[in-house]
């Protein structure tokens, strides 16, 4: 047995520990969006409240959040108060995903409506084009309609401070 | 005895296989085979380790519907996969193509195997040499 071979098991062990340690801090559920750096896909849907046709062109011309939600989604209720708070700082466009019109309207009437616009997508077509896997999901879109960030799950103050705000500041 | 056991096993497994029951009508058996194959190869974006073909997640049902529609419209397997990757990223492919991003994934095991083989060969040659020296 040569001298260095004695250290091989320790070396292999250390490498494995390194991988496992890294693995502890990774979230296997968090996937990078395939749409980062790409424009919001084209769509033609109606406004939940007015029934008017909404397209990519009717989106805000400044940075905004696109929040995918549904009345059947529990986490959406959890993040709702925080979104209401955020709506003072930047516009939030709602994407009502695979929901029924009445249920969605009742939900907003009960919990309050922080949304600048509400895109009604009962079939989930735009959700699919956005690569949405489930609600809630939130996208940060810049003033030219390009997706900058995707957040799967709840938006709260920690997510805002760590992910949204730093990016938002570079966009302004 | 063995026969009844086999019959039971077949029944049990066929129940598991039909976990998600949807009625899709295909124009040909080939189309249906492609639908099944894509159901195995496309990964459910919501549930880490399931293919869309055997997942009951809402999103998997939606994606199966898309695969069905695209097959009916005459899209090729490549086009369907491209559609999925454009929306859900590489993550959805259980069988990723060989390219710059996946080369380590594909060739890593082969490289490690070759390295191990070389090490074993060196080891054998050294010990036979030591034996030869002792014998002579």
Q: For residue A80, count other CB atoms closer than 10 A to its CB.
A: 21
ipTM of the complex, rounded to two decimals:
0.78
Q: What local confidence, expressed as pLDDT, does residue A33 receive? A: 78
Is there a contact between A99 and A127 (Cβ–Cβ < 8 Å)?
Answer: no
Residues of A in contact with B48 (CB under 8 A): 28-29
Residue A106 has pLDDT above 60, yes or no: yes
Alpha helices in chain B (DSSP H): 2-17, 29-41, 58-72, 77-88, 103-135
Q: Which B-chain residues 30-89 have CB contacts (< 8 A) with chain A?
A: 45-46, 48, 57-59, 62-63, 66, 85-89
Kindly list the domain boundaries of chain A, sorted by start residue. Answer: 28-171
Q: Which fold has domain A28-171?
A: Glutaredoxin (3.40.30)
CA–CA distance, B131 with B136 (Å, rounded to integer): 9
Is there a contact between A90 and A168 (Cβ–Cβ < 8 Å)?
Answer: yes
Q: Which A-chain residues 98-137 have CB contacts (< 8 A) with chain B?
A: 98, 124, 128-134
- A140-144 mean pLDDT: 94
Q: Which B-chain residues 99-128 have CB contacts (< 8 A) with chain A?
A: none
Listed residue (A142, A99, A137, A104) closest to A121, CA to CA: A99
CA–CA distance, A103 with A94 (Å, rounded to integer): 15
Residues of B in contact with A99 (CB under 8 A): none
Instruction: Indicate the pTM of the whole model.
Output: 0.77
Confidence class for position B11, pLDDT limits 50, 70, 90:
low
Alpha helices in A87-164 (DSSP H): 101-111, 125-129, 157-159
């Amino acid at each position: 047995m040569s001298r260095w071979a004695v250290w091989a098991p320790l070396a292999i062990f250390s490498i494995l520990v390194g991988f496992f340690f890294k693995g502890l801090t990774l979230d296997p559920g968090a996937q990078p969006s395939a749409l980062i750096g790409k424009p919001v896909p084209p769509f033609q849907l109606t406004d939940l409240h007015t029934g008017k046709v909404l397209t990519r062109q009717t989106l805000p011309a400044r940075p905004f959040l696109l929040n995918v939600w549904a009345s059947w989604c529990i986490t959406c209720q959890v993040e709702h108060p925080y979104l209401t708070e955020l709506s003072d700082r930047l516009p939030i466009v709602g994407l009502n995903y695979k929901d029924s019109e009445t249920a969605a309207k009742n939900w907003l009437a009960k919990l309050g409506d922080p949304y600048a616009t509400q895109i009604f997508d009962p079939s989930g077509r735009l959700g699919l084009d956005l690569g949405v896997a489930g609600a809630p999901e939130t996208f940060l879109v810049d003033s030219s309609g390009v997706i900058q960030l995707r957040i799967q799950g709840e938006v709260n103050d920690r997510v805002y401070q760590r992910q949204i705000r730093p990016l938002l500041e570079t966009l302004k | 005895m063995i026969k009844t056991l086999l019959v039971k096993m077949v029944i049990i497994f066929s129940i598991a296989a039909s976990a998600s029951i949807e009625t899709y009508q295909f124009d040909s058996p080939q189309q249906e085979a492609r639908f099944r194959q894509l159901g195995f190869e496309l990964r459910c974006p919501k549930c880490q380790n399931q293919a869309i073909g055997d997942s009951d997640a809402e999103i998997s049902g939606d994606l199966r519907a898309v695969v069905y529609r695209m097959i009916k419209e005459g899209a090729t397997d490549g086009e369907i996969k491209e559609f999925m990757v454009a929306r859900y990223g590489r993550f959805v492919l259980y069988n990723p193509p060989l390219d710059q991003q996946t080369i380590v994934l594909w060739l890593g095991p082969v490289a490690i195997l070759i390295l191990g083989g070389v090490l074993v060969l060196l080891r054998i040659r050294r010990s036979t040499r030591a034996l030869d020296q002792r014998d002579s």
